[in-house]
Amino acid sequence: MDYCILIAKSLTHAQRMVRLLAQCGIRATAFRAGSSLTQRGCGYAVRIRADRWDEAQRCLDRAELHPLDVVWRKGES
């Protein structure tokens, strides 16, 4: 399954995105992300299924809660 990884500004930002996406019916998981993802050292990111991205984007846009960056990953479990 393909995934979409939303890079967060902070843990709190990641938690807010997870909560908001859940309210929009999208399953999302926050996790610690390494430098290879964040480019800034330790950080947090949110993982969702790639096929939910369009819906997730609309949901986050409505709340003006934007990820720092979006990374696409193929076949992650």
Partner 1 sequence: MLYFDAAATTLEKPESVGRAMARASREMTSPGRGGHRAARLAEETAFACRTEAGALFGAAPEQVIFTSNATHGLNIAIDTLVRPDSRVIVSGYEHNAVMRPLYAIPGVQITVASAPLFAPQETVEAFERAIGKGADAVIVNHISNVFGTIQPVDEIAALCRRYGVPLIVDASQSAGALPVDLKGWGAAFVGLPGHKGLYGPQGTGLLLCGVPGEPLLFGGTGSASLEKGMPESLPDRLEAGTHNMPGIAGLLEGIRFVQRTGIRRIAEHERAMIQRIVKRLASWEGIRVFAAEDPQRQGGVLSFTVEGMDSEQVASALARHGVAVRAGLHCAPLAHQTAGTLPDGTVRISVSAFSTAQNADRLCEILWQILHENVTD
Residues 42, 74, 75, 77: which binds partner 1 (CB under 8 A)? 42
Report the alpha-carbon distance of residue 27 to residue 44 in Å, rounded: 17
Which residues inside 45-74 make contact with partner 1, applying CB under 8 A?
none
What the block records as the tokens of 21 is 């996406």
Q: Does position 10 bind partner 1 by CB under 8 A?
A: yes
Q: Does position 43 bind partner 1 by CB under 8 A?
A: yes
Rg of the chain over all Cα atoms, to the nearest angstrom: 11
Helix (H, G, I), strand (E, B) or coil at 56: helix
Which chain residues interact with partner 1 by CB under 8 A?
A: 9-13, 15-16, 19, 31-32, 35, 38-44
